[in-house]
Amino acid sequence: MKSVQQEVDERSNLTSNNKFELLLFRLGGDETGERSELFGINVFKIREIVAMPEITAVAGSMPHVLGVVNLRGQIIQVLDLPAIAGVKPKTGLNIMLVTEFARTTQGFAVESVEDIVRLDWNQVMSAERTAGSGMVTSIARLPGENGEPGPLAQVLDVETILRNMNPESGPEINEQTVGAKIQIKPGSVVLAADDSLVARALIEQGLEAMGLPFIMAKSGKEAWDQLNSIANTAEAEGKTVHDKVALVLTDLEMPEMDGFTLTRNIKKSARFAGMPVVIHSSLSGTTNEEHVRNVQADAYVAKFSAEDLAGTIRRLLRQ
């Protein structure tokens, strides 16, 4: 039988077709350890899964920071994910998930790893209207047996978790970092899509500093519907969509429709021929960069550097 780690290694090569794979794990439950809920993280964010190594406590650490570990010569900060989520592990912190995204590596302590499931993004619903701190970005509806609905899994927004842990470490976004204002056709906008509350706030700050008007969507499907609606309006006015949308900026991981599918839809449609698309994601690595090329995106920018994003937009708009 394959180990969970082997599954991660093999399936991380999955080519996106509005599908993704979710690593399921448990953190614990209430004070007695009961009501243990399922949580998930996109497999693409998992570098490896290891039994909990010896942790060195660091003086003056932030709350919920367990300390650091030496993982084959790399010093990695380890976060107590059950404590962050407000639950109590019944059997202890047994597993460390090593995640890699947004140019950083960190470890998350969890109670247990359950499985990897392959899902369509349309099986994932936004969690923004549910109660909570924003650390859950979406809710995945897992398949059940005999066609019956399965359990729900909470998909964690790692960006929000890390930002909440250290709010002072956010990127500096101002006119000095992004450079001169970027001019686009009067009446046109940048259409941006991201399901993370923290990411949307950073993108909005960045675009405002660049002097770019924008429309913000919370999923790839919402952005696709918005883009078609704008195109309909433009055609009714005797214009083209390019008169109203200068560029599309999209995340990869989004409920209902991911950024790969959104980009592929735009690039395959004669209606949007020549529309620049920038993929802006915390997912990194050569596999994801190859996928970006396969869907014919015009550029890939790793989150979050306002300077890199401004430079890319300026280059694509030839400014």
- The pLDDT tens digits along the chain (319 residues) read 455 555 444 444 454 467 888 999 999 987 765 678 999 998 878 889 999 999 999 998 888 999 999 999 999 999 999 999 989 998 999 999 998 766 778 999 999 999 999 998 889 988 866 655 578 888 999 988 887 888 999 998 887 888 777 665 556 677 777 788 899 999 999 999 998 888 888 899 999 999 999 999 999 999 999 999 999 999 999 999 999 999 999 998 888 898 989 999 999 999 999 999 999 887 655 555 666 667 788 998 888 788 889 999 999 988 5
Whole-structure pTM value: 0.80
User: Edge to edge, what strands does the sheet with 65-71 contain?
Assistant: 46-51, 95-101, 104-110, 74-80, 65-71
User: For 245-260, b where at least 16 C-beta lie within 10 A, e where not — what string?
Assistant: bbbbbbbbbbbbbbbb
> Which pLDDT does position 161 carry in this prediction?
84
Tokens of 275: 């529309």
**Which residue has 């690593």 as its token pair?**
23
- Give the chain's largest Cα–Cα span: 66
> Which pLDDT does position 36 carry in this prediction?
86
> Which of 177, 186, 303, 175 lies closest to 249, judged by CA?
303
> Which pLDDT does position 286 carry in this prediction?
55
**Which residue has 């010093």 as its token pair?**
75
> Which pLDDT does position 1 carry in this prediction?
47
β-bridge partners, 125: 139
Residue 74, C-beta contacts closer than 8 angstroms, at least 6 positions apart: 105
Residue 132, C-beta contacts closer than 8 angstroms, at least 6 positions apart: none
Residue 141, C-beta contacts closer than 8 angstroms, at least 6 positions apart: 123, 124, 125, 149, 150, 152
